[in-house]
Structure formats: structure tokens, C-alpha cells
Structure 1
Amino acid sequence: MSESITSVLAQRPLGLVFDIDGTLSPIAPTPDAARLYPGAAEYLRQASRFAHVGIITGRAVADGARIVNVEGLTYVGTHGLEWCQGLPSTHEIELIPEAVPYAQPGQELLDLAEKELVPQIPGLIVQRKSVGGTLHYRLASDPEQARTKILATLKEPAARLHMHLDEGKRAVEILAPLTINKGKALRRFVEHFRLKGVIFAGDDRTDLYGLLEIERLRQDGYAAHGIAVQHADTPPALLEHADSVVHGVEAMVDTLQQMTIAIGEEKE
């Protein structure tokens, strides 16, 4: 681990915040097939004894918690629209108030996608969330053609329903037109727990908001460090704004293990 990570880990209260897909879980062919890398869940569990551990994902809270399945963590879903202070089986999922009006328009767009796009694009997967959802076209025979078709079909209805379209890795996101993102969620997490130090790790376009927020937190006097998990298709901006880069999920989980050991020793 770098010296800067070590210095952040010495802070108390400390926060460790992670994306799931491509960060702690290898990218899977379908959303339901995703699994945490071996050992990751136990390291998260151990880390939560000494730090506030958060999961910030584009998945719905219930879906993200299904994959991680560790009690005592803060689960933040749909890029910051949903919050749960533990597993949803034992804690209430909170939808932020400003997102509520967009739940129905989001479902309308997903209904449209299932009616018009699924029959035309074999392999297209519609992933529903409490607000909006994600259309995964990774399994389409021609992914680029699928992307073009999805955007062309949804552009006008999304504008009419006041919803926002964004993109991830082989995916089109249907989002509420709010300024909520992983960076805003990270700031809320830091302020909620009154942290002095925080580390954030992610791998995709939406995680750039988290890395940019790490920079702002540092400017505001917090000890903060951003980690980019590099894959073949990692956006260059993510690497530019990261304080450190690890190559792949296995290396990220190794780093998580080292951080867990370090904060355990610091506590002793």
C-alpha cells in the first residue's frame, strides 16, 4: 500500500467505501451472475469492526446487499438514491424524498424497453430499480448496434417523462434527473459518520464522481484517498483522478485485505 493510504488508515473515525461490480466483484455476463471475489466478504466484515464500511453501487440496495451479504455495512444504491444502514432483511431502505416523483416515470420507460427493445435485441437484460433501472446489452450479438437502438428508442420518451439517460459498461442507465451521484453519496456518508479519513474505490464512469469528491474532501481538510480499479475498458479520466491504481478485482481485494490488517493493527 502507498504511504498516503497508510496515513488515511490511521485516522479515526475512518470510512472505507467501495463500488461492487468491477471493484469487489468480477464483471459477470449478467447482473444476477455477479459474485464477490473470494475473501472479500470476510475482509469487509473484519474491516467493519474498526471502520465505517460503505457500499455505493448503481444497483438497487436490495440487489447490492444480496451480493455482499455482510451485516453492519451501509448500503447505498441507485447511485445514492437509496440508503440502508445494514442488510435490508433487518433494516429499512430509505428512498431520498426528491427521488420519489421519478419512480413511476422510470417504470414507464422500463415497460417500454421490455415491450419494444427486448423482442428486437436478443440478450438484452432489463434491470429494474426503485427509481429507473439499467439496460444491459453486453450479451447482444452486436453490442454497438444495440446501444444505438436503445438510445434512439428511449431518447424522446425519456425527455418527455423528464428522466435522464446515462451510460456505463455495455449498459444504458435510466436515471432520475437529480444531481445525486456517487460523489454526493460519498460526501453524505462522510458527514453522517463525522469521518476524519475516507478511502473510496471504483472502476467505472459513475465512480468518477466518487474520485472527484475525494479530491474535494481533501481540499476541505479530510484525509482522503481514491483508488481506481483498472480494466481494459476503464475510462481514462478515472485513472487521471485516482490517487492510486490497482489492476483488476483480485488486486483490489488484496488491497482490501492489507487495509483490514493495517487498521486492525492500528486499533491494537
Structure 2
Amino acid sequence: MAKYLFENLELINEFKNDKNTAIITDIDGTISEIALTPGEAIVKADMKQAIVNLKEKFKLVGVISGRSVLNAQEMLGIEGILYVGNHGMEYIFEGEYFIVPEVKEYLSQIKQCCGQLNEELSNIPGILFEDKGICHSIHYRQCNNPEMVRSQIIKSIKNSSNSKNLQISEGRKLVELKPPSSYDKGTIINKIIEDYDLNKIIYLGDDITDVDAFRRLNELQNDQIIRSASVMVISKEIPTYIKNSASFFVLNIKEVLKLFRWLLD
């Protein structure tokens, strides 16, 4: 059962007081408010400044997003942090770009499938298609009957001849098409821990895809490989089981900023 973080801060003092701690966070819904469209979302100046200050204090600061890695980098514009995009399938650190090789062969297939879906579904008022380079998202937040549209999107994907072998996942009011890669936020968090020789990590997220990271961190902690604190930013859009996959929860993005400032104090 996840605990409310600000009633249990003493449990993460060890992270605050160790400069070798890593701070890894999702973007949308965690350090940026969910917006009607992805392009309208922003990371506010006070949050950016807190992240800059965290970078100066701790061993590693990074963001892991469902957005493309270039879009994530553009949103924050902070040098010297790790940027991971498309749920771990690509990342940038110190100017170097990496993409998981196994996904490349599926990029044209995903583009073809989404082109077909666009033709079938674009007449639905409020639907939005987002091309993220590797993955493609179909947003239905602005649709009049979101759950009905969600079902229609999933049905169209499954009926598409171009969707064979592709992964279908879901997030907050979106359906996403992905290459059939083993990479997810749990896989990339494991790679980050190995690559940067981390032994303490705080991870923050707000969505279904963050559960992979929460679960992997729990496994590594149970195996006494690392010490971790996973923090879920709760919302009405997220089922209770996702909240309880984290160690702690906070109520909103303002409390994420409050946590960052507490870590810096």
C-alpha cells in the first residue's frame, strides 16, 4: 500500500542526504500539468529551476517520457541531464543520441498503420494523432464520448492489416502503437542503474507506463541491489492498483515541486 509521502518524509531522508542519489521523473502529469493537447503542455519556470538545482546536488537527474526524446529535450531545455523518450526506446545524454536497434524495422509499418487509422477515424470530433517518431499516440481526451471513442480506436487497430505484431498500450486518454520491443520504463530504468552505477534512486511518475519502472525498482530493492523510492502522482484517471504499485504518492504536481525543494533544502 502506497504511503502519502508528506506524512513519511523521514523514510526518504537517506536519499536527500546522499549526493549519489539519482532523481528520475516522468514529464506529463508529473512535472507538467496534463493539457488538452501534447503541444499545450509546459514545464513551468519554477519546476525547471528546481530540476537545474537537483542536477547540481545529485549524481544524476533524468526524465523518462512517452514523448519523443527530442520533444522532451525541447520542453525542458536543461543541459546536463538524461533525456529518455518513447518509454525507453531512445535517449540523449551529453549530446549523444541512442535508439534501440530492434525497433527500427517497425517504423515504416507503424507509420502505415497510423495513416490508415487516420483515414478511418479523423472524422471523430476531438480526436488527435501524434507522431512521435518511434511510437504513435491517438488522443481522445477532447472527444464527446471518450470511452466509446477509445473502444473504436482499439477495434480499428485490431482490424488493421498493418497492425500485425505491433504492441497496443494505453495511457491517460490515449491509445498508443509501439514496436514489439522488450524496452519499457522498467527496462530503461534498469539500464540507467547499471550504466551509471547507481545505488539510490527516486523515481516519479503518474501513468500506467510508469508501473513498469515501479515494479522493476521494487524487484531490485527486494534483491538488495539498490535503495529506491517510487512516487506516484495520483489522479482520478488512474486506477488504484497503479497508485499502490509505488512506494509513496503525492496529490498533484505542486507537491512534486514541494518534494524537489525539500530534497534541496
Q: Same fold (TM over 0.5)?
A: yes
Q: Look up the match of 1:244.
A: 248
* Residue deviations 1:132-179 (CA, integer Å, cap 9, x gap): 210001011111121111111111327753111111111001011122
Q: Look up the match of 1:17.
A: 24
1:140 aligns with 2:143: yes
1:114 aligns with one of 89, 95, 118: 118
Structural RMSD (CA): 1.5
Q: Look up the match of 2:107.
A: 103
Question: SS in structure 2 opposite 1:49?
Answer: helix
Q: Look up the match of 2:41.
A: 34
Note if contact 2:137-2:175 (Cα within 8 Å) is conserved in structure 1: yes
Q: 1:223 to 1:155 in 2, by over 3 A?
A: same
1:56 aligns with one of 47, 59, 64: 64
Q: Look up the match of 1:260.
A: 264
User: What letter matches 1:251 in structure 2?
Assistant: E
1:126 aligns with 2:124: no
Tell me the distance in 2 between the aligned counterparts of 1:60 and 1:139: 22
C-alpha displacement of 1:38: 4.4
Tell me the distance in 2 between the aligned counterparts of 1:55 and 1:158: 35
Question: SS in structure 2 opposite 1:46?
Answer: helix
Q: 1:113 to 1:159 in 2, by over 3 A?
A: closer
1:182 aligns with one of 181, 185, 189: 185
Question: SS in structure 2 opposite 1:255?
Answer: helix
Tell me the distance in 2 between the aligned counterparts of 1:234 and 1:158: 31
Question: SS in structure 2 opposite 1:257?
Answer: helix
1:66 aligns with one of 64, 69, 74: 74
1:235 aligns with 2:242: no
How many residue pairs match? The answer is: 256
User: What letter matches 2:244 in structure 1?
Assistant: E
1:85 aligns with 2:86: no
2:11 aligns with one of 4, 13, 37: 4
Tell me the distance in 1 between the aligned counterparts of 2:141 and 2:204: 23
Question: SS in structure 2 opposite 1:48?
Answer: helix
Gaps of 5+ in 2: 1-5
User: What letter matches 2:10 in structure 1?
Assistant: E
Q: 1:123 to 1:64 in 2, by over 3 A?
A: same
User: What letter matches 2:33 in structure 1?
Assistant: P
1:195 aligns with 2:198: yes
- TM-score, normalised by the number of residues in structure 1: 0.91
Question: SS in structure 2 opposite 1:79?
Answer: helix
Gaps of 5+ in 1: 262-268
